[in-house]
Structure formats: C-alpha cells, structure tokens
Structure 1
Amino acid sequence: MVSQETSWLATRVQRLEKLNTDLQRTLLTFLLDDNRNIELTAGDLFVHPNTVKYRLKKLDQYFGFKVGRMPESLELYQLAACLRIMRGHA
C-alpha cells in the first residue's frame, strides 16, 4: 500500500515538474507563500501583477480548474508542498 501511495505521489509531482520554471515558481509562491494573493506573489517574484495573472491563467488551463480555488486546489496545494520539501526548500 505504501508503494502504491508513493507511486501516486510521484506521478502527480512529476506533472508539476513538467511545468516551466516560471510557472512552477509562480504556483509555489502563490499557493504556499502568499496565501493566493496576486499582488504579494508579484512582489515576491519581482514581476508585474498582470504577469502573475497571465501565468495563473496558463496554470488554470493546464490543470483544468482555477488554481487557488478551494476545494479544487487542495490536492495541488499539498503536491506543491511535497515538491518544495523534496527539493529541500522547506
């Protein structure tokens, strides 16, 4: 059962890893650091808020739901946290 859960997690984390670096950073910062706040995310990434909005739209299309909306984003939030931990950026 543990190996099945590990496989499930690895498959989903790999989907996050397929995103380009800018989209990954935007996703992790938006969900984990800035409480889904576009302006704070823009400030942390040193980009214009419209850039964050554009990237979030791309992420919405990629995942098939509005990123940040709960409960749809709960699993994505958890996966983003796992990805960050796996990379050693806790």
Structure 2
Amino acid sequence: KRFIEEKDKMAKMTPEEREAYLNEKREQAKKTQKQKLLQKLKDQRRKFEDSDLQLSPLPQAKLVSTPEGFTSTLFGDIVMVTEFINCYSG
C-alpha cells in the first residue's frame, strides 16, 4: 500500500520535483545506513562482562607423540612456526 501511494505521489510530480524527491530519499537512505553502521561499530567496541557471554568450553587437549629427543619446548617452537607459516602463506 505504501509503495502504491508513493508511486501515485511521484506520478503527480514534475520531473524536477521527482529528481529532488529521489535525491532526498537517497540521502535519507545513506544517513540511515550510516547510523546503523555506527551503531554496529559502537556495539562491537563495547566491553563485555565475562559472565554475560555464552561461551562453549575448550576442547580437551590431545597428546601428540613426538620422536625421541624432541623436548616439549622444541616441539612447541616447531608448532608455533608451522602455524605462523600456515596463517600468513596466503
């Protein structure tokens, strides 16, 4: 119904009035979209209380068998470098 009313309203306008009306509607839509984006960014920046968040527990860690002579520190370093390369390999 709203669409039909707007269509009738635009049909009664002169081309200049129609152009001005459409420009005004575009500006209003941009303004509304910008306000929504700013609100979304504001919500994302807001600090959360830990007790309010719905978090799932971390999975249980699995033991990894390492070759003889590998210390836990050495294995951790290898995993860290491998993960770094995996993340930034593109």
Q: Tell me the TM-score normalized by structure 2.
A: 0.27
Query: Comparing both chains, which one has the higher relative contact order based on Cα–Cα distances under 8 Å and sequence gaps of 6 or more?
Result: 1
Flag the structure with larger Rg: 2
Q: Tell me the TM-score normalized by structure 1.
A: 0.27
